[in-house]
Structure 1
């Protein structure tokens, strides 16, 4: 719900806090970036201090941060609490996968990871609808309060979890503080560059400097990790092409599914005029398959269907689904786009859980935390980057469209601020801010401009997903061939 539902609340948060586009985007991005930055860190820490302890610490941090978000008085406070929540969420996701990999093996592990994916699917499926209902009925603060309540229930289950994990005292090695710090800095620089690209200009010295800084810090990180006795990331994991290929599957899902999960609710409110509750209900078409497909995939594997075949089918669904989602338009009926939404959701659902189990089977159990951390770092890191790229490029395309067309409406001005407000989903506020004489006509112009930007970015995301699918297919084929030869 924290990942999929927050976007539904953005228009309400923006109207309540009078936030600009960049701070408003960080309500989503702060969580995703922190999640991405600390997933690998927590995976490594879990192998050292114990997975149940690390899991409990993350749940506690997440609960406190969610309560702070519910009490936030301005958008910067909210951004800070969202970053803290992402830090705790990274521990839950990374350590949770490592705990499942440690407790179960054989067919039991496949079933456990299928359930792991299904439960995640419950959150993804219910997130937009529940968030929309809470925002519309009680206000956006209650959405974050609901997160805090959920995490309190998680904390109550920690003692049982700790008892179930065998030999969870940790390895006793020291935490890789230099490597952890370098990785976090690199991710923050990279994502900040992407988010600010639409604000400062993609060729601005500040943006180029952030990108260059991220590359330099990542190079230093790799050099440091090669020299550490107990590195946060053993780069030897990357020599297994099949493991790398499986880890890239969630990256494709980030561009093909998570971007839609995050920004389609805003499109439904900004371009089609629906309210938050209606947008949340429509999102069930996208998220419901994520609830059903993980267990379906597990059953198919149990009946002899190769797991890699299902992985390839899921990737194909992502590409086809994204391309057919271009059928969306301000006046389209939901029946026209229902099938594309279901196909896109199936692309995510078929690989959820299945990829985790397949990837961790290739790794020594002693390094399960690190491997799960790396897998989920790519998953959450790519989500943060994909969402940031989508939001930033959409804002850039929309600003260009508004600047080109605003002169045709008498009295309309402040194109930059109007475009930023519209990109955040508040078309009514953007229309009022513009001051156009023909308010109805200008509102239609903004909706059409948002629709144009949405389609442009959607096609770009589908292209990125298609390229990733080709790379993954090559890695998995080469990895299978090498395993067979061995």
Structure 2
């Protein structure tokens, strides 16, 4: 059961086959989404169980984001060339195998290596989930299918921190990873039996493997330098890694400019608005990456919450996005992106500053209502305002045929921003290797880190106000069903249109 775009998709949502395709894509994307949203809640328990320092916890988060951000564009190109179902299934199996290693990891180095392998699997399955819907469904049903995917994905994002906290406090943090095994056990056979294979008949030439490798290595070296600096100082390893990361980054830019069809085409940045909105994306998601990494630890180590309590405490942010992001997308369509992209980050910055009230005693009912809930609610409102218009503006900044590429670049930029923030914030805030074990020390550094996160959001708002001037035309906005996506870790991906994939060279 294989077809290309030339055959035309014919599955209807109401048919049994349509329901199987939606189930498959939701299960697959939920694996990656759950791991992205629950890992922060589990960090203090992982550190205690494995006897690790703060740097190892940073790598536990960043190893996954590193390979995912570096390879996600290449993963979409592989699906277009070799079959989207085939690559999606390979990603699910890979992700599940890496999750098993994570769940059985005897020490931090094994866990970090397995998390990096998880990111490779995520890079294969994440772009494939929406691409399968794009290629499988009849055009009249495609919007509804994506809406179902977004809605169920939003529910998964909302449940993730709660489920993760329950697992950490109950059977243990290892089950945060082992939970992926039954999901994969259902997803793979359903995909092989019920999801049609598809590929892009125009996909040809070489893959930009060198570009992907250079980009990932540059990020890895910079990340190593930032994480190692608090303990090692300006050692040869730290300074050498920083210099190597900068040099490889420059080599990556040079390589992409010289290739005929690079993974990251420089020509897409000819749009001033596309470039500006990606800079805003870097600011917003760097702030969010640092916030979610540190706030989950703050709630447990300083405020005294359990893992379940911390996950539940942060839930209102995601619930607000799930309930109101679609309406925000429609509002952005009417008034243009400039106001939402300015007001949203400023509101979110206020929420992060309100987190400074969280401390000892905030785990009581009164403490939650006065200290935690206002902060996470205001942050959620800010994200509701900004995330959907941000995605819409990215897609409106390029021609329709490059929407998938633009979305992939924006998604990768957001993940890279979160990666750098998790590496850099502890260094900038002066967190020592054992800070997360000492409530007083962590609270002091948290008070220094939150204003930095808020400052990034303010910077993003200023850039948006200064550069995003032209209202997005009505036909250039993101689809409302995509706007339901709860983009707390990255913006949603847009399926690649029926053109050649990114990441190939002709």
TM-score range, shorter chain: 0.7 to 0.9
CA distance in 1, matches of 2:193, 2:283: 35
Aligned position for 1:421: 434
Secondary structure class of the residue paired with 1:138: coil
| Pick aligned residue for 1:386 from 421, 435, 442 | 421
CA distance in 2, matches of 1:101, 1:472: 31
| Pick aligned residue for 1:131 from 164, 171, 194 | 164
Aligned position for 2:24: none
Q: Which structure 2 segments of 5+ residues have no match? A: 1-33, 474-506
Closer, same or farther: CA 157–205 of 1 in aligned 2, 3 Å: same
CA distance in 2, matches of 1:250, 1:140: 31
Closer, same or farther: CA 217–162 of 1 in aligned 2, 3 Å: farther
Q: Which moved more, 1:20-29 or 1:380-389?
A: 20-29
The Cα offsets for residues 66-95 of structure 1, whole Å up to 9 and x where unpaired, read as 122112222211111111111211233334
TM-score, normalised with respect to structure 2? 0.77
TM-score, normalised with respect to structure 1? 0.80
Asked if the contact 2:342/2:462 (under 8 Å) is kept, the reply is no
CA distance in 2, matches of 1:9, 1:152: 24
| Pick aligned residue for 2:111 from 60, 78, 100 | 78
Q: Which moved more, 1:130-139 or 1:5-14?
A: 5-14
| Pick aligned residue for 1:213 from 229, 244, 252 | 244
Point out the structure with the larger helix share. 1
| Pick aligned residue for 2:382 from 328, 334, 347 | 347
Secondary structure class of the residue paired with 2:459: helix
| Pick aligned residue for 2:205 from 173, 179, 201 | 173
Aligned position for 2:272: 241
How do residues 277-356 of structure 1 correspond to structure 2 at under 5 angstroms? Answer: 277-300=308-331, 304-332=334-362, 333-337=367-371, 338-356=373-391
| Pick aligned residue for 1:199 from 221, 228, 231 | 231
Q: Which structure 1 segments of 5+ residues have no match? A: 400-419, 427-445, 482-486
CA distance in 2, matches of 1:115, 1:245: 31
CA distance in 2, matches of 1:112, 1:298: 18
Closer, same or farther: CA 223–105 of 1 in aligned 2, 3 Å: farther
Secondary structure class of the residue paired with 1:330: coil
Question: Does residue 445 of structure 2 align to residue 468 of structure 1?
Answer: no
Number of residues of Structure 1 aligned to a counterpart in Structure 2:
437
Aligned position for 1:69: 102
Closer, same or farther: CA 252–318 of 1 in aligned 2, 3 Å: farther
Aligned position for 2:175: 142
CA distance in 2, matches of 1:254, 1:336: 26
Asked if the contact 1:42/1:91 (under 8 Å) is kept, the reply is yes
Asked if the contact 2:289/2:419 (under 8 Å) is kept, the reply is no
Q: Which moved more, 1:75-84 or 1:328-337?
A: 328-337
Question: Does residue 293 of structure 2 align to residue 259 of structure 1?
Answer: no
Secondary structure class of the residue paired with 1:477: coil
Aligned position for 1:437: none
CA distance in 2, matches of 1:104, 1:353: 24
CA distance in 1, matches of 2:472, 2:200: 33
Asked if the contact 1:98/1:369 (under 8 Å) is kept, the reply is no
Q: Which moved more, 1:253-262 or 1:131-140?
A: 253-262
CA distance in 1, matches of 2:116, 2:225: 17
Closer, same or farther: CA 96–470 of 1 in aligned 2, 3 Å: farther
CA distance in 1, matches of 2:100, 2:385: 34
| Pick aligned residue for 1:268 from 262, 286, 299 | 299
Give the deviation of 1:286 after TM superposition: 3.1
Give the deviation of 1:269 after TM superposition: 1.3
CA distance in 2, matches of 1:186, 1:479: 36
CA distance in 1, matches of 2:337, 2:102: 40
Secondary structure class of the residue paired with 1:231: coil
Closer, same or farther: CA 162–386 of 1 in aligned 2, 3 Å: farther
Closer, same or farther: CA 297–98 of 1 in aligned 2, 3 Å: farther
Asked if the contact 1:246/1:472 (under 8 Å) is kept, the reply is yes
